[in-house]
Structure 1
Amino acid sequence: MRIYFIFWMALLPLFNSPATAPAPAREAIVERDYCDIYGAVYLERDPRYKNDASKIVYLNEEEAFANLVVYRENNKLFADGTGIWFITPSKAFANHILYVTEQRHQADFTVYFTDMRSSATCRD
């Protein structure tokens, strides 16, 4: 029994690998996942329910400075592409819940509503 103990103690340094330097940190990748928001969207304006929202959005009055140009679709079935939203009056039927803020610096992205469906686009 003693021989086995000495044998394992002799092999112990072989199993302990030397300390290695940690891998360099990856650069932060900024995801533009707001481009994937389409379909039924509920715009939450009550600050008490801000935590229910997946993103914070600022409604921009200028198309030139918006991250996402959105067309309001009247039919939920046709809201099937980037920047095409059906604004639902109920949270229960929404695919996405977005909190609308009045402060641009708090928003994850900005939205401009357009009247032309062909203008709906995502800007990176």
Structure 2
Amino acid sequence: MLDHYRTEVIRMANGMRDMYAELFNLTLALAFQGDLKEVEEAFEVGDVFSFQLEHLEGSDDSNQEAAVRLLKTIARTADYLVEKNDISQEELDANKSEYEDPDGLLFDGSE
């Protein structure tokens, strides 16, 4: 059985995954009102497209850029927790969050 401290670290990493997903979705919604307005208008109901963090980077919108910086910080911190504490994917899945990682950034060592 995992000790309570380790369990909380795993919960924290999963919580960061949730925060990342929520902030990513909010930032994407903001971009659809600005930089990506034309892109959103090109989609029809039912169309599927997988947006990545790179689609949100490089904006002239300072609010969007602030959110992108925070997304990167959350991803780096979550990755650090997983690596430093040698948390397995199985342990993360045992405390699975309700959100999906929208662009595969978390827990793959890419940041």
TM-score bucket (shorter structure):
under 0.3
Q: Report the structure, 1 or 2, having the larger strand content.
A: 1
CA radius of gyration, larger in: 1
TM-score by length of 2: 0.23
TM-score by length of 1: 0.22
